[in-house]
Amino acid sequence: MSSIYRYLTFGLREDWLDSFLVQDDFLINNCLGPIQYKAFVSYLKDMKLISKTKETTELGKDIKKGLFSSRLNKQAIWSILWINLVFSSSLFLWWTNFKNASYSKKCLIDKLSENFGTKSVRSKINAYNALVSTLERTPIGDLLKQGKVIKKGRERIVIKEGNPDVPFLAICYNLYKFAEYHKKYEFNLEEIENMTLSPQKVFSMDTKKVENILKQKLHNEIIQVSLSEEKPLIILNKNLSSLNMLSILIGGNHEI
């Protein structure tokens, strides 16, 4: 899990990511400043789009393929990337513990000081800027409803709405990554709703909404539901990794 101070003072930006996905040599040929470049490389690694040696990963290749074939839309791509940020970054994992509500700068910096007290005030402000700028300058904040940023005088207020419209493949990807993390491949959704890294926590989403998304497009190779229990039991395929599952959905012919 990467440090909350990893991104220096910069948030992720949608235009950086768009350029990376369409321009193969973007990491070599770009207009980013040295600190921006370092921050963006950290984001790419935490989103699992590049390796430690800055090579495009299999996930990065799958997302590019899905983008160019129109199999993946903006909502799907950013849902996948948000999941990976939460699983990789202490800063974004920390944000998933906040309830749907409005938060001021003072509130968030006080919480950072409370939870990560060993660093300087400047480091806390940098972490705050990285979080809020990411929410403000990517679809994570508004489209995925993880933190709409509005200006109130000279201050920015973050409104976490939650319950976004997340595509089926992203919920499946989240469940498989959850299963890999917890070593748990059978569960009911109510049982996991308050567990770290569940779809409900990652997207600040009601369990009922997760159920409805899964019911719309069940795919037996990927996910099954047993009705023999008192509550429906989700059964994942232990032979599939989260990345293999995602490749099947992106490369297949079924609706995602």
Return the minimum-mean-pLDDT range out of 101-115, 176-190, 206-220: 206-220
Per-residue pLDDT reduced to its tens digit, 201-243: 999 999 999 999 988 776 778 888 876 667 778 999 999 999 9
The pLDDT value given to residue 215? 84
The dihedral built from the CA positions of residue 218, 253, 143 and 130, taken in this order, carries a sign that is: positive
Per-residue pLDDT reduced to its tens digit, 79-92: 999 999 999 999 99
pLDDT: which is higher, 254 or 114: 114
Give CA–CA dist 42/154, Å, rounded: 29
Residues sharing a CB contact under 8 Å with residue 120, sequence separation 6 or more, in sequence order: none
Per-residue pLDDT reduced to its tens digit, 111-155: 999 998 777 888 899 999 999 999 999 999 999 999 999 998 889
The pLDDT value given to residue 152? 87
Looking at the DSSP bridge assignments, the partners of residue 239 are none
CA dist list (Å): 234 to 87, 172, 176: 21, 11, 11
The pLDDT value given to residue 121? 83
Q: Which of 225, 175, 231 is nearest to 198 (CA)?
A: 175
Q: What percent of the chain has pLDDT over 90?
A: 79
Mean pLDDT of 20-28: 95
Please state, as a whole number, how many other Cβ atoms lie within 10 Å of the Cβ of residue 149.
16
